[in-house]
Amino acid sequence: MALKIDTEIVKTSMTEVLMQNVENFNAGTNGAIVLSSHYIMGDTQDFSKLSEIANLVGRRDINSGADATVKALNSTEQKSVICYFTTGSIEFNKVDARRYGSDESAFSVAIGEQIGIGFVNYMLNRGIYSVRASIESNGVNTIVGDGSATATYSMLNSGLSKFGDASGSVIAWVMNGKVFHDIVGDGLSNIKTDNVAGGIVATGSTGTLGRPAFVTDADGLNMTVGTSILGLTSNALEIAETETREIFAETVGGKENLKTAIQGESDVLITVKGYTYGGTDNPTDAVLGSSANWTQSATDIKATAGVLINIA
């Protein structure tokens, strides 16, 4: 019997991979990066939220009979953007599957898992382009460094200082592998030791200032000079699959060997906390990662996605 691909099994195994990663990222980043699914229509999503009221609470004169000060209640507009993805046409000779003893279910599961992993990587890369560009758009208000220095604990601390008394709201770091090991190396060199009763007591650690680090070599972290460490707040980056996932498979004839062709497609909606997207629909990575296409929508910088440290 000719090997066929069960598209429902492909979808199911893809979903399992996605759900495992949803749990990992939502928990592993303290909720700074959130993956989810919901359906919308269109290329972008607009929503409004109440602006923070300036000087909401102030002194009251108990001897005054004057009218109360009127404070306007306004809303801010925020736009998220959709990115579309495809697997392209995946083709293989049916005989190659049969000769290694694969059956329909096993092959379908394996393909679904690979698509799932690829989809997760696609989502995260597009999200990192977006959140890095958003934070970068605020310039000196959210950026420390100029891309010339190696990452250190001191630079992480300087990055947190951009949020002042709200520095505790930065709950996770995103950085590439080299940068992570630079920070670990800085920690190793700064451990202080004391000899106590013939033993060594180490005071200090090689952590990341009490915050988890998501380590990825995603291109979205790259800057014009150097790369970036992102210090993210809660729900800084929300990535949602918003289209009904399509998986298509067919047998292709006309050649000496029968082939199977598989193709999948869907999309993701990217929302960056406190920022609105102003670029073109269906953006390329260059458009998505341009700071010129993102502007602050939140009233207070402390209510946005976080801070950026530009290092070598």
What confidence tens digit (pLDDT) does each residue in 56-70 have? 777 788 888 898 887
Residue 51 identity (one-letter amino acid):
S
Q: What's the average model confidence in pLDDT over 232-253?
A: 88
Nearest-angstrom CA–CA distance, 247 and 240: 18
The DSSP letter of residue 222 is: B
With H, G, I as helix, E, B as strand and everything else as coil, classify residue 133.
helix
How many whole angstroms separate alpha carbon 15 and alpha carbon 41?
21
Q: Per-residue pLDDT for 50 more than 60?
A: no
d(CA 273, CA 251): 45
When computed from its CA atoms, the radius of gyration of the chain, rounded to whole angstroms, is: 25
Q: What is the pLDDT of residues 186-224, one digit of tens each?
A: 877 665 444 445 454 444 444 688 898 888 899 999 999
Q: How confident is the model at residue 47 (pLDDT cuts 50, 70, 90)?
A: low
Tell me which of 24 and 249 has the higher pLDDT.
Answer: 249
Rounded Cα–Cα distance for residues 160 and 169 (Å): 9
Closest among 142, 298, 304, 175 to 233, alpha carbons compared: 304
Structure confidence at residue 36 as a pLDDT band (50, 70, 90):
confident
> How far, CA to CA in Å, does 278 sit from each of 43, 45, 95, 121, 198?
12, 12, 50, 24, 64
Instruction: Enter the pTM of the model.
Output: 0.81
